[in-house]
Amino acid sequence: MKPAPFRYADPRSVGEVLEVLAAEEGAKVLAGGQSLLPLLSMRLAAPAVLVDLNRVPGLDAVEVDGEGVRVGALVRHAGLLGDHDAARVQPLLARATANVAHPAIRNRGTTVGSIAHADPAGEMTSVLALTGGSVTVASPSGERAVGWRDLFVGPLETSLPGAAVVTSAFFPALPPRSGTAFAEVARRKGDYAVCGAGVVVTLDEDRRVAAVRASYMSVGLVPEVHDLTESVAGSPVEKADWAAAGALARTLVEPDGDLHASADYRRLLVGVLTERTLADAAAEAAAKVTGE
């Protein structure tokens, strides 16, 4: 099938992007096109105008400082994956991006486009939530930050108004004495995950578990962060019962079944992936505390 006819605009500034979006009802931003173009080709979307971001200067930078990592709207998945400074300040970025699709799609698709697409199966929506991140949104009334909780409304649905463009996403730095891990189960490498998990474990100065957080892919309608601390709080890191944390996670999630997996299978995967990733993240955090 071919897309329904559409007009094409290639503005040269964020202001011009907003002018087209405000003037044309049914206009859609085009970034990497790796999600939007398949939707057009299947006629699941038929925007009147595509507003191409790719010639807008200044949107392709990854900025890293002690506070976190800011990813511009035209940074490709591959660019973020290869950014060692970003991985040092927030290791979940590289760990998650390595699981996004295949190299060809990572070369073109953007991290911000993934977030704006709001797919609960996507890795970067989940990482935005797990890190407590936000996006910067430009609209005719100005620029504002929108936190992840206020951004995701439903599957493929955000709270953004029609005449708005996300100019960057911000991922806060990993806290001290913390480790991360990320794992997923997919039918084939590069496919969307049947279920995936990202976790952060934070220890205190005596190597006891202080905080445990997890976020999942393909579980629930919007990204969620689950606090699993109570299951292992205060345990010396070597003795922490990660199976207990996995069991708690299974009670907190509400997966749906679909043609890829039943709800029960997804719940089982949540428990297994939680237990495994927490053990890895805790080992990483413990090594940092030892090295302090």
Ligand X SMILES: Cc1cc2nc3c(=O)[nH]c(=O)nc-3n(C[C@H](O)[C@H](O)[C@H](O)COP(=O)(O)OP(=O)(O)OC[C@H]3O[C@@H](n4cnc5c(N)ncnc54)[C@H](O)[C@@H]3O)c2cc1C
Binding residues (CB under 6 A) for ligand X: these are 28-36, 38, 53, 73, 100-101, 105, 109-110, 112-114, 116-117, 122-124, 165-166, 192
Q: Please provide the size of the chain in residues.
A: 292
Continuous segment of H or E residues that includes residue 71: strand 68-72
CB of 166 to ligand X, least distance (A): 4
The residue number with the shortest CB distance to ligand X is 109
What does the alpha-carbon distance between residue 87 and residue 257 come to, in Å, rounded to a whole number?
34
CB of 84 to ligand X, least distance (A): 21
191 or 256: whose CB is closer to ligand X?
191
Q: DSSP alpha helices (H): ranges in the chain?
A: 14-23, 36-41, 77-81, 84-89, 92-97, 103-108, 111-117, 123-130, 148-151, 242-252, 263-291
78 or 245: whose CB is closer to ligand X?
78
CB of 95 to ligand X, least distance (A): 13
What does the alpha-carbon distance between residue 114 and residue 77 come to, in Å, rounded to a whole number?
9
Reading the block at residue 154, the tokens are 């439903």
182 or 192: whose CB is closer to ligand X?
192
98 or 233: whose CB is closer to ligand X?
98
CB contact at 8 A, 122 and 96: no
CB of 217 to ligand X, least distance (A): 8
CB of 168 to ligand X, least distance (A): 9
Q: Classify residue 136 by its DSSP letter.
A: E
53 or 282: whose CB is closer to ligand X?
53
